[in-house]
Amino acid sequence: MADERGHLPRRPARILMATRWSLQGLRDAWLHESSFRLEVCLFLVMAPAGWWLGGNGVERALLVGALLLVLCVELVNSAIETVIERFGAEHHVLSGRAKDMGSAAVMVAMLNAALVWGAILGPRWWT
């Protein structure tokens, strides 16, 4: 039975297909995006450290979640860049602007991670 917007409920086969596409996206990002590989390597080091250093569940979620946010934004930035490259390598002001904004979004996510880590761990180290 469809919902009010006409969407059919997700069946296990559709969920499996969506999972496959998501894993394919992660694989493609790993294979083709050096920034994503670097950020994954940093995540693999920092996430266990954040889990260990967090004093409670909320702190652990914030420390690890801020790192996951960086990966999410990097994936979106890579998707933007891939779509722009699909249309050609010639310079266009709007293409450049979109790529710069995607890069800025990654930088803001990294700044967020640094602020979260500093706000949670900083008082422990400087007091």
Catalytic residue among 39, 74, 81, 85: 74
| pLDDT the model gives residue 7 | 65
> What pLDDT sits at residue 52?
97
| Residue pLDDT, tens place only, 80-111 | 999 999 988 788 999 999 999 999 999 999 99
- Annotated catalytic, 74? yes
Pair of tokens at residue 82: 């891939």
98 neighbors 78 (Cβ within 8 angstroms): no
Q: How many CB atoms lie within 10 A of CB 70?
A: 24
Radius of gyration over every alpha carbon of the chain, rounded to an integer in angstroms? 19
pLDDT at 2: 46
Find all residues with CB under 8 Å of 109, minimum gap 6, and list them: 66, 69, 70, 72, 73, 74
pLDDT, tens only, 34-64: 999 999 999 999 999 999 999 999 999 999 9
In which residue are the tokens 């999972």 written? Answer: 19
Which of the following CATH numbers is that of domain 34-126: 3.30.420.40, 1.10.287.3610, 1.10.10.10, 1.20.1370.10? 1.10.287.3610
Q: Where are the domains of the chain?
A: 34-126
